[in-house]
Chain A
Amino acid sequence: MADDIQITEIESGAHARVLRISGRLDAKNAQALVGRCHELRDRGTTNVIVNLKEISFVASSGIGSLLALTETFKDANGALRLVELSSAVSSVVEILNLGQFLEIAATEDEALAAIGV
């Protein structure tokens, strides 16, 4: 379906992955993202970078999943970093003042640098 989320996974080092996702981050698609991230964690990936440049819309469940995943990776002594927030995502992050709870970086390189890859 055209509205399904697209997830592209790029390997960056042994314990880091970049996920580039595009489309609408709503309740259903958020589950797909959560599922993929849990899979990565279970396989030992502790650092995940999610590129949100191509997200045209985000629902509360989508933003809630990003918060929950941030906590999940923090608990696993790693981090989930969000990069290149689209205006749809950044406006929700700003309005709920979520910057303090999420790890946000401007670009993938910056996020990779932060984890020393």
Chain B
Amino acid sequence: MSEPKPERTLSIRWIVSGAAIALTAITVLAVSFVGERNARSALTRELQTRVLLEARNLAMTSSRALLSEFPELTLGPIIAEMSEDRVHLEQTAVVDLERLIRGHANARRIGDPYSLPDRALPVETTVGLMPGEQMLADDEILIAAAPVRHPQGHHIGTAYVSFPRDYVSSVLAEARRAQLLLVALMLAIGIVVAPLYMAHLLRPIGALREGLERIGRGDFDSPVRLQDRTEFGLLARTMNRMASGLRDAQEQKVERERLSHEVELAREIQSSLLPDADVAADGFTIDGSHHAAAEVGGDIWDVFPLEGGRTGIAIADVSGKGLAGCLVTSMLSALLRAFRNEESSPSALLARLERHLPLRSGTFITMFYGILDPAEGSLVFASAAHNPLLVRRADTGKNEWYRTQGIPIGAVKGGALARTLRDERISLRPGDVLVQYTDGINEAFELSGELQFGLERLQEATAAGADGGPRRVIHNIRRSLEEWTGDQPPLDDETLLVVRYDGVVAATPGTGEAAPANAPAELPIDSMDPLQVLEKSRAANHHCTLPADLDQLHELRGWIESCPGFSALKECELAIAETAVYEVCANITEHGYGSRSDARMDVWWLPQSPNADDPPAGPGLRGHFVILDAGKPFLPQDDPVDLHDPGVRRRGRGLGLEIVREVMRRVSYNPGTPAGNITLLAFDSSKPRAKETSHG
């Protein structure tokens, strides 16, 4: 990399020196000009005074001479002597009353009439003139006239004395010469001295510049060493403080990045432990949600299949936060999955977890673990000091709270936990909803920071959404919680686990109603790999190919009607099946394919029956619609829309997936398989619809 060419800098040394010298010169010249003007006026006045005094003097001296017979003999030498005082002799004379010259330096002018120069005019003067006195001047000379008086006082003649005017100019010119010489000398000294002195003053700039360059290179440890009592010293101290401030800030930034990376890692580990939402389990619909606090907390929820068609559900809150809490959580999750089939009693499982978790003193876990049995319609659970379980009964609308005596895992050493735990059993009826949660939910503070969300509000939000299934319940609780807390970020992890007992749907055709418990487990296809389902669909060969074009999707109707079993369905059931499949295809067309016009998708119908070619007719028709597309995988909108909100109704959007979810028993979108994106829709014409399942 080449060094950037340094920009031309203007030197402060030359700028300041030049300005100082120019200012000095201007000042001196201005002062000289004013001084000379004043001097000229003073000198002029002095000259006038002097010439007048000379005239008076001559007049006095001439008084007696004029009365003598030959006044010229006395006056001639007196006037000639005056030339030594620079008097202009030509116009210096003593005249009598007839204005004839009676005294003059030149004896030949005696007796001549005296005349003033033609252009001589009286001048204004500040010198006090006495009666009979006059001050006259032309360009070259100044003339003062004083009356010569008889000793008895009457006027007998006039004495004229004249001076050359250039006397003043010559005096001033001399003074000016001396002054200019002095100015020139001073400027010469200034030109040499000022830049040198400025260079001396500006010397610290070099050190400061080097210091800044070091800071620029990231070297914050070499301070600028400058002993200077001017502002530069202050600047150097400020720079050193800045460097150490930058060093601290950089260290903090590195630390923050490291921590943030750690937290991100912890968050990733934690979210990888959480199951996908909307888990399918035989006889139950299960959903959960997890909202992490800014600092990674230690909440976890989990759902997994157990032997004998049962399902395990767990929710736990680890007391530690950050990476440490996260490690405990991931260990807990791994151990839970390892032991799940080895302990049939929830309390035994919790006690076993405690024995295997290397918990440090002060770290403890509150945990709820339950086993759902679809055949019995029951939940057997144990709780290690976790929040009470809410059961919302579908038939009576009653809310039941189940509290237990267990202490937290890790709270007391020496196996005390096992003595406090007890398995509880709850019988469930179809439609019953179970809600478990961590204290981030019920202990969330409202905006003012005084009141907690509490169990009452949790119960209300559950009641309002119970008919809509776990997803609706979670949506309601989340919305209610967000209204409660406002815009504050969550202080603790907020985790929810909601289960609805659906009962077991009869495999026998024709009933169209939820079957009583003890019916055989059904729809084994739910647990199959989507690629296997696709394989089976290809073999069954009830297939159509559709262009990814909203205008062409109407072809679905004819094809669905041609699929085995559908011709026997009621018109409204057929219409609703078509709408649901259409919505999925429209979603793929819009979001997966965008505007590609050549794109296509494949749809299969895979009947679910012991004998696929002979499906049960009419109500009870079950099977899968399998949709394969090669578009861009996308995230389906997951939040249920709340139609009670007029704003949502005005937008009129987001209903598609609601329809699909209500119509289909199960929906699963499997993007990016080797075959493409596979969407599985489990259709069951006997599925209890929202309206029919609303109890109480």
Contact = CB atoms under 8 A, between A and B. Distances in A.
Interface stretch (B253-261, B282-290, B490-498, B649-657): B649-657
A28 B551 CA distance: 8
A91 B685 CA distance: 13
B677 to A, nearest CB: 20
Nearest to A71: B650
Given A67-B643, A67-B649, A95-B659, A3 B554 contact: yes
A12 interface: no
B652 A95 contact: no
A28 B550 contact: yes
B554 A92 contact: no
Contacts of B655: 60-61, 63-64, 67, 96
B646 A71 contact: yes
Contact of A88 (B575, B651, B691): B575
A72 B647 CA distance: 11
B99 to A, nearest CB: 120
Interface string A56-68: 1111110111111
B557 interface: yes
Interface in B461-479: none
A8 interface: no
A92 B659 contact: yes
Contacts of B575: 57-58, 87-88, 91-92
B572 A90 contact: yes
A96 B643 contact: yes
B690 A59 contact: no
Interface string A67-89: 11011100000000000000110
Contacts of B579: 57-60, 88, 91-92
Q: How large is the interface on B (under 10, 10 to 19, 20 to 34, 35 or more residues)?
A: 20 to 34
A26 interface: yes
Nearest to B659: A60
A63 B550 CA distance: 16
A60 B656 contact: yes
A14 interface: no
A1 B551 CA distance: 10
B554 A24 contact: yes
Contact of B554 (A57, A64, A96): A57
Interface string B546-585: 0000110110010000000000000111011011001100
A10 to B, nearest CB: 25
A67 B576 CA distance: 18
A117 interface: no
A27 interface: yes
Contacts of B300: none
Contacts of A63: 652, 655
Given A27-B550, A57-B578, A91-B576, A98 B643 contact: yes
A68 B652 contact: yes
Nearest to B689: A95
Interface string B57-95: 000000000000000000000000000000000000000
Contacts of A95: 576, 659, 662-663, 689-691
Nearest to B656: A60
B586 interface: yes
Interface-centre pick from B557, B573, B576, B583 (highest chain A CB count, 10 A): B576
A42 to B, nearest CB: 17
A65 B655 CA distance: 11
Interface string A39-66: 0000000000000000011111101111
B657 to A, nearest CB: 8
B376 interface: no
A22 B557 CA distance: 16
B658 interface: yes
Nearest to A26: B550
Given A3-B554, A94-B691, 14 more contacts: A26-B586, A57-B554, A59-B582, A59-B583, A60-B655, A61-B652, A61-B655, A65-B652, A67-B652, A67-B655, A71-B646, A92-B575, A95-B689, A96-B659
12 contacts: A24-B554, A26-B550, A26-B582, A60-B658, A61-B655, A63-B652, A92-B579, A94-B691, A95-B663, A96-B659, A96-B690, A97-B690
Closest 9 CB pairs of A and B: A64-B652, A68-B652, A60-B656, A88-B575, A60-B655, A91-B572, A87-B572, A91-B576, A67-B649
